[in-house]
Structures are given as structure tokens and as C-alpha cells.
Chains A and B, each alone.
Chain A
Amino acid sequence: MLELFLKSLPAFGKGILITLEITIFALIFATVIGLVVGLINIGKNKIFKAIAKIYIDLVRGTPLIVQAFFLYFGMTGALKFQIRPEVAGIIVISLNAGAYMAEIFRGGIQSIDVGQMEAARSLGLPYSKAMIKVILPQAFKNMIPSILNQFIISLKDTSILTVIGVAELTQSGQVIIGRTYKSFEIWTMVGILYFILIYLLSTVFRKIEVKLNV
């Protein structure tokens, strides 16, 4: 088992790197998308709000695997362009997680008492400054558990990208099994590796949470 693991290590290593690369980029984009769309949703612009609603409904109403097929095969075919599967993967996970993050941000911001915004505005702070200095720091603290949850889901969702040929961790498992036929051992290892990644992610978040609670 150990020998098999050591032999598979280079392939797993590459898979983990790609999984991490896609997860990190996608989560950065998803956080930005989530913040912007979340702010649109609590704002007053009806056109932006309508667009945001369509976006969130579309993402939540369709499976990730269909979104991945649609972008990587459907869009590229129809519009005659090509992208690397990793890039398609980052786009799909970003857009997918962005929609859920938008709801997390909206809920987090709305959980802050309106008196906070009124007090900030009555001091002369413009809306944007009141949001950045007063509302978001408080909202962010409340949102950390939900954000961690979404980050974990998105990290696991990268495994679905194997269907569009992204050489991430799950795919590296399949490739190794193709060579060795050790299905039980390899899937056990893949599972453990995902577990470790997610455990590390949770630990980082717990540290942030403790720091913010001081």
C-alpha cells in the first residue's frame, strides 16, 4: 500500500496542485462576484437587481455538471473558440460559487441592524464608506461559517471538472487506477487527500474566526 502510494505520489501531487489552483482562483473570483451581486441585491437599482436574480436563479436551478458541459463543450462549440479545461473549470466554479456567495453576503449584510447604517450615514459618511467601515466588518464576522461551508463545497465541486478533462485530484486517481487497477486503494487515498485539504481549510478559517472574536 505504501509502495503504491509513493509511486502514485507524483501524479497525486500534480492533481492536488491543479485542484488547489482552480479552487483558489475560483474562490477569489467567487468572493468578488458574491460581494458585488450581494450588494446589488440589497441596493435599489431595479435593472441590476433583475439581472442578479436571473443569474442566481440560473446557477441554483441547474446542476454544476451541466454548467460545466454547457460552457466547455456547448459555448465553445457554438461560438467557435477554445479554452483550456482548467480555465473553463475556474470560470464554472467561480460563477457557481459566486451565486451562492451573493446570497451569503446579502444575508450577512441584512443581519446587521439598520441603526448601524443610519448612525454611520448621520455622521456624514457616504453609503460606500458606511458599508466598508461599519457594515461589512460586522457582517463578515457573522458570515464566516457560511463562507467556509461554501469554500468546502466548491473545493469538492472541482472533482466534477474531471468530466471536462481537468487533470485535478479525482482525475489523477482515475489515471492511476487505469495503470494499476487498484481501485480500492486509490479511491481510499483520494478520499484521504480531499479530507486533508478540507481539514486544512477549516483550520485556517477557525483561526480567522478566533482572531476576529477577540
Chain B
Amino acid sequence: MISVKGLIKKYGNNTVLKGIDFLVEENQVVSLIGPSGSGKSTLLRCLNGLEEATEGHIFVNSSDITDVKLNINHFRENVGMVFQSFNLFPHLSVIDNITLAPISLKKMNKSDAEELALQLLEQVGLKEKAYVYPNSLSGGQKQRVAIARALAMKPQIMLFDEPTSALDPEMVGEVLQVMKNLAVKHGMTMIVVTHEMGFAREVCDKVVFMADGRIVEEGKPQDIFDNPQNERTKEFLSKIL
């Protein structure tokens, strides 16, 4: 479903991604782990074109998003993104946050979009918050709304960029639970940059360990966590587990 070939990303003279080859199958849940500055967020942001690849190719559903002729807006409708800092639109109520894209891109009329929004809010456990503004929500609630907002475009793939890193510890669980439901019940294809090793181990089909702009090791969670082969992986895991 996603295939990255020889991806290189440079900012000026600084090479952040040094040749990434990477595969994600349909319905797979993949976590990207690694020390900060290893390029995991950059890789994720390349997958929906928020960062432009310097070299290499990224195929998503067989369309190459590094191709300048591709309609990036149309492509992005199929790829949902959830950010560390939520990025809810503060001037819009929760339900308007969710219906903004479906309505303005003419995917749905207003009443259908609102019906879907309420369904999605129910799915993330926040139906009663539909008409409040984001400022009155807790961090965990904001992130669940952000997930519902991304789902409103009915994406085939969801990208999560450290979705729980900005949360107070007691709110991490509720967001992870929503993500787990999405993976298990809905079979969503997901790529998650995370420091939540419990989530990676329990929910993910594949764990990818990155360091210094390269994929150092990848495999099933139990292999990576219980029997890491690479020294760099061992060192990282010994620090955080």
C-alpha cells in the first residue's frame, strides 16, 4: 500500500533522511520508534507531502507522491494526519472542525457531514462535546477530536505524529485506546511515530527502529523488543524500557 524507495531529505546541507526503503501493507499498523532527531517525524511528514522529498520515490496506492503532476490535495484526502500539538481550529466548534473539510471539498452536504461527525465523535467517546469550542477541551479530548476530524475524510491510511507526546500522563491511555480501536475494529492502515512502547508492542504488526536518518532495524514487535539484533537498537531499548 505504501512503498518508499531511496528517500532522501535534506534541509540545506543537513541530511535528515539518508536513504529510506520502507513498506507498509494494507491494514498493517506500523510504529516508527527511535531517538529524537532520528528522522521519524520527517519520514511521516513526507508520506503526505508536508515535506518534499529531496530524492527518491514514495508510492501510495501506486501513485507516486513525488511526481509534480500529482494533485496533492486530492491525494491527501486519502491520508489522514494527527499531530502532536492537535492543531484543532480554535475558531470553529468541535463539529465544525470535523465537517469543515468534507463540506468545503464537497464530499458531503451539511446534514450528512454532521451526521458522520456525530458518529465519529461517538466512536472517540466525545459525542456530548460536539458543540463546544476546542479551548474548553482537555488535551486528550482535543487529540480524540483531531482523530475524528481526520477520519471524516474517510482516509485509507492514518498517520500519527507522536499523538500522545504533548499529553498529561493520565490522558495518554484514552487516546491510545481510540487508536487501538481504530486498528483492531476498523482495520485501518496506520503509521504511528511514538514513544509508547506498550502500544507498539501490543497493537502494531511491525516496528521500525530509526536512528540518524536511517532505518536500522525492523520486524515484528516481539522480535524487536525481546531480541533486537542491532547494537543501536539494543542501546535505545535499554534506555527506555
Binding site for B on A (CB under 8 A): 113, 115-116, 118-126, 129, 133-134, 137-138, 141
A-B contact pairs, 17 of them (CB 8 A): A113-B85, A115-B83, A118-B83, A119-B88, A120-B101, A121-B50, A121-B73, A121-B76, A122-B50, A122-B76, A123-B80, A124-B73, A124-B76, A124-B101, A124-B105, A124-B153, A125-B101
Given the complex, which residues of A lie within 8 Å of B89, measured CB to CB?
116, 119-120, 134, 138
Main secondary structure on A side of the interface with B: helix
Q: Answer yes or no: B227 CB below 8 A from chain A CBs.
A: no
Q: Answer yes or no: B87 CB below 8 A from chain A CBs.
A: yes
Q: Answer yes or no: B100 CB below 8 A from chain A CBs.
A: yes
B91→A138 contact, CB < 8 A: yes
Question: Which residues of B72-129 have CB atoms within 8 Å of chain A's CB atoms?
Answer: 73-74, 76-77, 79-81, 83, 85, 87-91, 100-101, 104-105
Given the complex, which residues of B lie within 8 Å of A123, measured CB to CB?
76-77, 80, 100-101, 149-150, 153
Given the complex, which residues of A lie within 8 Å of B100, measured CB to CB?
120, 123, 125, 133-134
The complex places the Cα of A125 from the Cα of B73 at a distance, in Å, of 6
Closest to B100 in A: A133
Given the complex, which residues of A lie within 8 Å of B81, measured CB to CB?
118-119, 122
Closest to A115 in B: B87
Our count of residue pairs bridging A and B at CB distance below 8 angstroms stands at 62
Closest to A126 in B: B73
Task: List the 7 closest pairs (A to B, CB-CB), nearest first.
Answer: A119-B87, A124-B77, A123-B101, A122-B81, A115-B87, A124-B76, A126-B73
B90→A138 contact, CB < 8 A: yes
B85→A115 contact, CB < 8 A: yes
Nearest chain B CB to A66's CB is how many angstroms away? Answer: 41
Nearest chain B CB to A113's CB is how many angstroms away? Answer: 8
Given the complex, which residues of A lie within 8 Å of B48, measured CB to CB?
122
Given the complex, which residues of B lie within 8 Å of A124, measured CB to CB?
73-74, 76-77, 101, 105, 153
Nearest chain A CB to B69's CB is how many angstroms away? Answer: 16
Binding site for A on B (CB under 8 A): 48, 50, 73-74, 76-77, 79-81, 83, 85, 87-91, 100-101, 104-105, 146, 149-150, 153
Nearest chain A CB to B18's CB is how many angstroms away? Answer: 24
Nearest chain B CB to A90's CB is how many angstroms away? Answer: 33
Nearest chain A CB to B61's CB is how many angstroms away? Answer: 15
The complex places the Cα of A120 from the Cα of B76 at a distance, in Å, of 10
A118→B105 contact, CB < 8 A: no
Q: Which of B50, B79, B91, B101 contacts A118 (CB 8 A)?
A: B50
B101→A137 contact, CB < 8 A: no
The complex places the Cα of A176 from the Cα of B39 at a distance, in Å, of 74
B83→A133 contact, CB < 8 A: no
Nearest chain B CB to A44's CB is how many angstroms away? Answer: 12
Given the complex, which residues of B lie within 8 Å of A116, measured CB to CB?
87, 89
Given the complex, which residues of A lie within 8 Å of B80, measured CB to CB?
122-123
Q: Which of A118, A123, A141 has the most CB of B within 10 A?
A: A123
The complex places the Cα of A176 from the Cα of B105 at a distance, in Å, of 60
Given the complex, which residues of B lie within 8 Å of A118, measured CB to CB?
50, 81, 83, 87
A133→B104 contact, CB < 8 A: yes
Given contacts A113-B87, A124-B74, 16 further A-B contacts (CB under 8 A): A116-B89, A118-B81, A118-B83, A118-B87, A119-B83, A119-B87, A119-B146, A120-B101, A122-B48, A122-B76, A123-B80, A123-B150, A124-B101, A125-B101, A126-B73, A129-B105
Nearest chain A CB to B196's CB is how many angstroms away? Answer: 21
The complex places the Cα of A118 from the Cα of B89 at a distance, in Å, of 11
The complex places the Cα of A125 from the Cα of B88 at a distance, in Å, of 14
Given the complex, which residues of A lie within 8 Å of B76, measured CB to CB?
121-124
The complex places the Cα of A24 from the Cα of B88 at a distance, in Å, of 36
Given the complex, which residues of B lie within 8 Å of A115, measured CB to CB?
83, 85, 87
